[in-house]
């Protein structure tokens, strides 16, 4: 079976953009591949953060992922596999400085931190973040990495690091991982449908999967439909996003009949919005029920994930054992 690896940062609540855009895909991939999924808390340290919140967000995200259908045995916490940090150091020494300076996500995040602040603190961790990501991927010899377009450059860097390592040490040790682009819904902000649904844009721009029903309905009801600058004869971005959400929520019969209305020129936005809200609320209440179950025995969840991380760590240790030998470091007893 081919090996799939992906990771997600523990940054608070899960919104429908995360759910439809990544998590649902992770769940499906488990049927076809040997999957390893990480909650990457080391990565979350690269931006200013609060230690208590980091630990809370890590466990919350794990519960959300389990409630969504990710299997516990496939899930690990990055810092419970400290070999990621070790391999990252070794990769820092085979990755060129020049290549890291070309990473656009670093530039974006740096600009974000510096916005209106001349003395903003930019950590070296933020700069070498993609090297740690390469370690996440290569430590398990992944064949495929399901990622969004925004991560393409980082994946390319991982491939380069693998090639450079193999070349420098004269053996084909690391597999060269491939991106896995599956057709995933592109969920936009309800308030600004030309931008991706995102927490960083503010509370109007994302719909929390575990939000109260009334709030979900209200957010859908106030979604932008026509902005007045539509190209004649083309569906507006806001209406397109509502149809996309219906499809993502698997409401195909609603989708098709409302699309017929649209094509006939008599679509009622209120009917479209009601259908979307119903779809999202249904998913939300199912997930919430599962989450409540998991939350009722948090200790069991923690033990389960510590155990799965422990099992997954054995694979990482095997890689490090080989890498230590190849690179001239001391061998260590695990
Ligand atoms: N950088 C990714 C993101 O922001 C998260 C990530 C870390 C990741 N390590 C990874 C994704 C390894 C895929 C594979 O979304």
How confident is the model over 155-208, as pLDDT tens digits? 999 999 999 999 999 999 999 999 998 788 889 999 999 999 988 888 999 999
Q: Which of 147, 82, 84 is nearest to 156 (CA)?
A: 147
Which tokens in the block code for residue 49? Answer: 């953060």
Give the residue-averaged pLDDT of 20-43: 96
Ranges 111-120, 152-161, 277-286, 322-331: which has the least confidence: 111-120
The residues, any chain, with a CB within 8 Å of residue 13's CB and separated by 6 or more, are: 60, 199, 208, 209, 210
Q: What digits encode the pLDDT tens for the residues 212-231?
A: 999 999 999 999 998 766 67
44 pLDDT more than 70:
yes
Q: What digits encode the pLDDT tens for the residues 114-152?
A: 988 888 999 999 999 999 999 999 999 999 999 888 899
Give the residue-averaged pLDDT of 274-283: 98
291 pLDDT more than 70:
yes
What is d(CA 150, CA 153) in angstroms, rounded to the nearest whole number?
7
| CA 215 / ligand 1 centre spacing (Å) | 30
Q: Which of 167, 171, 169, 175 is nearest to 3 (CA)?
A: 175
Ligand 1 atom closest to residue 5's alpha carbon, by position in its atom list: 14
| CA 154 / ligand 1 centre spacing (Å) | 8
pLDDT at 201: 85
| CA 26 / ligand 1 centre spacing (Å) | 13
Which tokens in the block code for residue 48? Answer: 């200013």
Which among 3, 7, 135 is the best mutation to test ligand 1's pocket, defined by most ligand atoms within 8 Å of the CB? 7
What is d(CA 295, CA 299) in angstroms, rounded to the nearest whole number?
9
Which tokens in the block code for residue 71? Answer: 């299997």
Catalytic residues: 109, 196, 199
Residue 93 three-state SS: coil
pLDDT at 319: 98
232 pLDDT more than 80:
no
Q: What is the mean pLDDT of the chain?
A: 95
What is d(CA 118, CA 131) in angstroms, rounded to the nearest whole number?
27
Which protein residue's CA is at the shortest distance from atom 13 of ligand 1?
Answer: 6
pTM recorded for the entire structure: 0.93
Q: What digits encode the pLDDT tens for the residues 154-165?
A: 999 999 999 999
Ligand 1 atom closest to residue 9's alpha carbon, by position in its atom list: 5
Which protein residue's CA is at the shortest distance from atom 8 of ligand 1?
Answer: 7
- Greater confidence (324 vs 200) lies with 324
CA distances from 197 to 159, 174, 210, 224, 270 (A): 29, 35, 16, 13, 21
What is d(CA 17, CA 312) in angstroms, rounded to the nearest whole number?
28
pLDDT at 229: 67
């Amino acid at each position: 079976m081919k090996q799939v690896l992906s990771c997600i940062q523990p940054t608070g609540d899960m919104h429908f953009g995360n759910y439809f855009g990544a998590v649902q895909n992770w769940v499906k991939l488990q049927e076809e591949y040997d999957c390893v999924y990480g909650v990457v808390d080391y990565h979350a340290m690269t931006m200013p953060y609060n230690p208590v919140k980091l630990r809370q967000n890590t466990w919350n995200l794990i519960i959300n992922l389990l409630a969504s259908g990710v299997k516990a045995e496939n899930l690990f916490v990055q810092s419970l596999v400290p070999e990621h940090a070790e391999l990252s150091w070794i990769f820092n020494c085979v990755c060129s400085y020049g290549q890291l300076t070309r990473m656009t996500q670093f530039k974006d995040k740096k600009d974000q931190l510096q916005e209106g602040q001349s003395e903003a603190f930019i950590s070296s961790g933020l700069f070498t973040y993609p090297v740690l990501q390469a370690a996440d991927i290569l430590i398990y010899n992944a064949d495929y990495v399901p990622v969004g377009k925004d991560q393409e450059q980082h994946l390319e860097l991982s491939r380069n690091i693998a090639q450079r390592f193999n070349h420098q040490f004269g053996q084909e040790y690391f597999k060269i991982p491939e991106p896995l682009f599956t057709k995933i819904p592109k969920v936009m902000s309800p308030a600004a449908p030309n931008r991706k649904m995102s927490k960083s844009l503010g509370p109007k721009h994302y719909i929390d999967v575990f939000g109260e029903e009334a709030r979900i309905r209200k957010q859908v009801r106030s979604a932008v439909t026509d902005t007045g600058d539509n190209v004649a004869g083309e569906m507006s971005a806001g209406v397109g996003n509502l149809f996309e959400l219906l499809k993502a929520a698997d409401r195909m019969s609603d989708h098709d009949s409302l699309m017929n209305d649209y094509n006939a020129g008599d679509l009622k936005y209120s009917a479209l919005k009601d259908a979307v809200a119903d779809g999202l609320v249904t998913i939300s209440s199912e997930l919430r029920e599962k989450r409540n179950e998991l939350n009722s025995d948090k200790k069991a969840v923690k033990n389960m994930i510590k155990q799965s991380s422990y099992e997954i760590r054995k694979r990482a240790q095997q890689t490090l054992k080989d890498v230590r030998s190849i690179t001239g470091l001391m061998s260590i007893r695990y």
